[in-house]
């Protein structure tokens, strides 16, 4: 006797299982509103932890520092705050030592940033070609960045020592005489700049290398067909493609130079290093802030220095933005 294969739905739905089509209109409207709310609110819930952490550890300290800058607050009596208005800002702006620290920070930033970025650009160009053990060389270049600033500063302090330092031994060996690196106005800045260059060149090299590898190879092939040498390809193809990255590294390096603290502090160490040299010849803004806040205990002027550093950073960022905008217009 022939039998037919039962089809789906012949015997109805399973007992206890509710048909979705039987959902009431009110329940459907409620689920639709819930879905729309979830679609709009979920992105904010995902990014909320960042803003909460930023508000607690970034925005609140910044605002509170500005509030302290308008008061007279001493380290020994943190619970006593006397309103002084703009007196702390006026005090530091009339202090010659503050402008000395600004000049030192600017000079050290220039003589450390320019050679650092040029060296990083050249090293990235070399690593961009096919080399044996390329991963090894990239790791070696990044090793100084992984070294702590205290370790690096202490090692270089031994290198630049006036008595028995390695660099003075080499200079004396070749007949150039000794140099008191920490006591000289320019030699101390050069010594700090060398530490900064040694630590950050590898970091910027990898940034440039990543940007170079994103440049289309068709551009290099077209340039080589036109008879361009490697130097001409680097100048006319690589550099224009890396302009946004170069501007980014300039901004990052500028921010880093404004925050120089460990290198000048540990160049000589002790009381002299904490005041930026016997004549404040290598005192940076961070060291100046440290002296006001932690050595003298005057937190009001120290907070004013912090806000002055922020204002300088914003000014430098605005200048870099205007320069970048002008470069983009010229390229277009």
User: Could you tell me the CA-to-CA distances from 53 to 64, 140, 194, 206, 325 in Å, in that order?
Assistant: 16, 34, 35, 29, 32
8 A C-beta contact, residue 251 and residue 228 = no
Stated as kind and residue range, the H or E segment containing 158 is: helix 149-159
Nearest to 106 by CA among 320, 257, 278, 289: 257
0.95 exceeded by the pTM?
no
User: Is residue 275 helix, strand or coil?
Assistant: coil
In angstroms, rounded to a whole number, what is the distance separating the alpha carbons of residues 167 and 187? 12
128 exposed, middle or buried (CB, 10 Å; 0-12, 13-18, 19+)?
A: middle
Nearest to 269 by CA among 287, 251, 245, 250: 287
Stated as kind and residue range, the H or E segment containing 200 is: helix 185-213
Q: What is the pLDDT along the chain (332 residues), one digit of tens a residue?
A: 444 544 444 444 445 455 555 567 767 777 777 777 777 778 888 888 998 999 999 899 999 999 999 999 888 887 888 898 899 999 999 989 999 999 999 999 999 999 999 999 989 888 887 777 777 888 888 888 888 888 888 888 888 887 878 888 888 878 777 778 888 889 889 999 999 999 899 899 999 999 988 888 888 888 888 888 888 888 888 888 888 898 889 888 888 888 888 888 888 877 788 888 888 888 999 999 998 888 888 899 999 999 999 999 888 888 888 877 777 777 66
HSE (side-chain half, CA atoms, 13 Å) at 13:
8
In DSSP terms, 71 is beta-bridged to 83
């Amino acid at each position: 006797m022939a039998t037919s294969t039962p089809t789906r739905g012949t015997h109805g739905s399973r007992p206890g299982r509710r048909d979705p089509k039987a959902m009431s209109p009110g329940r459907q409207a409620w689920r639709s509103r819930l879905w729309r709310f979830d679609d709009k609110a979920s992105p904010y819930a995902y990014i909320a932890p960042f803003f909460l952490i930023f508000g607690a550890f970034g925005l609140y300290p910044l605002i509170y520092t500005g509030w302290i800058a308008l008061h007279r607050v001493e380290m020994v009596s943190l619970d006593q705050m006397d309103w002084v208005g703009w007196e702390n800002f006026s005090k530091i702006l009339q202090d010659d030592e503050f402008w000395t620290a600004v000049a030192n920070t600017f000079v050290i930033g220039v003589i450390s940033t320019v050679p650092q970025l040029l060296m990083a650009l050249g090293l990235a160009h070399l690593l961009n070609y096919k080399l044996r053990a390329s991963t090894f060389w990239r790791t070696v270049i990044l090793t100084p960045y992984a070294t702590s600033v205290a370790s690096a500063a202490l090692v270089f302090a031994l290198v630049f020592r006036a008595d028995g330092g390695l660099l003075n031994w080499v200079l004396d060996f070749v007949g150039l005489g000794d140099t008191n690196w920490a006591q000289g106005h320019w030699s101390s800045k050069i010594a700090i700049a060398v530490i900064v260059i040694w630590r950050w060149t590898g970091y910027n090299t990898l940034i440039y290398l990543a940007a170079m590898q994103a440049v289309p190879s068709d551009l290099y092939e077209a340039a080589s067909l036109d008879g361009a040498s490697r130097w001409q390809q680097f100048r006319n193809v690589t550099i224009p493609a890396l302009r946004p990255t170069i501007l980014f590294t300039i901004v990052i390096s500028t921010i880093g130079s404004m925050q120089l603290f460990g290198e000048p502090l540990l160049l000589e160490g002790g009381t002299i290093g904490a005041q930026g040299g016997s004549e404040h010849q290598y005192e940076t803004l961070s060291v100046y802030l440290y002296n006001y806040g932690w050595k003298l205990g005057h937190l009001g002027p120290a907070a004013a220095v912090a806000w002055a550093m922020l204002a300088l950073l914003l000014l430098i960022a605005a200048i870099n933005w205007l320069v970048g905008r002008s470069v983009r217009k010229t390229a277009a």
